[in-house]
């Protein structure tokens, strides 16, 4: 099964992402927009794992949750990956002032590494994917439009992390939460 670790988003944040997608609807042909049930904040991608590892992963995730503090995210500006050239992903940015989100990601990297998952080589760049590019023939207009979006800032508390199973289908990925783990670390209120 294909697994990743994520934070679920509130309905308010999902509504704000949908609004931004509508503002960019001129690019509907170039972009495959994610649906509301596909929206999440990824902490760590684990990839294809044998079903027999499910218990190990659940236990490692519980250990991470025990040492990770709850945090509050602020979702606002829009951007593209990569930062230059042909756009592959359109996203909304995530900020977290206390450092607890970066720490949670770091706990993920080190604890999943202990059970055999490679550390991510790229720096953690928290984002909410709005869409992925099918074929960009927009000559830079997509990037310009994304960078011009003025979205309101929305905040959300994150109090649990989830192990998510991703099933790839011809109609896109379907996600199902297979376990939830309350963040219990630190001295956050």
Quote the CA–CA distance of 180 and 48 in Å, as a whole number: 19
Give the one residue of 154, 166, 181, 183 binding ligand 3AM; rule: CB under 6 A: 166
How many angstroms from the chain centroid is the CA of residue 13?
13
Task: Indicate the residue among 30 and 39 with the shorter CB distance to ligand 3AM.
Answer: 39
For residue 124, state whether it binds ligand 3AM (rule: CB under 6 A). no
Contact status: 20 vs ligand 3AM (CB under 6 A):
no
The torsion defined by the Cα of 41, 44, 50 and 52, in degrees rounded to 10, comes to: -90
Neighbours of 51 (CB within 10 A): 7
By CB under 6 A, is residue 45 in contact with ligand 3AM?
A: yes
Beta carbon nearer to ligand 3AM, 45 or 149 = 45
> What is the distance, to the nearest Å, from the Cα of residue 109 to the centroid of all Cα atoms in its chain?
15
Give the pair of three-digit tokens for residue 153.
Answer: 């800032």
Structure tokens at 51: 């079903």
What is the size of the binding site for ligand 3AM (CB under 6 A)?
Answer: 5
129 binds ligand 3AM (CB under 6 A): yes
Q: Measure the CA–CA gap between 69 and 17, rounded to whole angstroms.
A: 25
**CB closer to ligand 3AM out of 129 and 156:** 129
Q: Dihedral (C-alpha) 28, 81, 2, 62: value to the nearest 10 degrees?
A: -120
CB 56 within 8 A of CB 174: no
Shortest distance, CB of residue 189 to ligand 3AM, whole angstroms?
Answer: 28
Provide the minimum distance between the beta carbon of 39 and ligand 3AM in the complex, in angstroms, as a whole number: 8
Question: Least distance in Å: CB of 4 to ligand 3AM?
Answer: 4
In the bound state with ligand 3AM, the residue whose beta carbon lies nearer, of 68 and 129, is 129
Residue 35 interacts with ligand 3AM (CB under 6 A): yes or no: no
By CB under 6 A, name the binding residues for ligand 3AM. Answer: 4, 42, 45, 129, 166
């Amino acid at each position: 099964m294909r697994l990743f670790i994520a934070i679920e988003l509130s309905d308010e944040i999902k509504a704000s992402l949908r609004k931004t997608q509508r503002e960019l609807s001129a690019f509907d042909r170039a972009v495959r927009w994610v649906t509301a049930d596909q929206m999440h904040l990824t902490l760590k991608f684990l990839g294809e794992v044998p079903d027999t590892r499910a218990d190990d992963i659940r236990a490692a995730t519980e250990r991470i949750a025990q040492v990770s503090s709850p945090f509050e995210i602020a979702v606002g500006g829009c951007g593209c990956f990569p930062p230059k050239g042909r756009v592959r992903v359109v996203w909304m940015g995530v900020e977290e002032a206390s450092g607890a989100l970066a720490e949670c990601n770091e706990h993920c990297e080190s604890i999943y590494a202990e059970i055999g998952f490679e550390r991510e080589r790229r720096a953690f760049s928290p984002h909410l994917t709005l869409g992925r590019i099918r074929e960009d023939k927009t000559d830079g207009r997509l990037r310009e439009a994304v960078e011009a979006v003025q979205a309101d800032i929305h905040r959300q508390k994150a109090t649990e992390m989830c192990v998510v199973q991703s099933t790839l289908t011809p109609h896109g990925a379907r996600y199902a939460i297979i376990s939830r783990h309350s963040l219990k670390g630190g001295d956050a209120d």
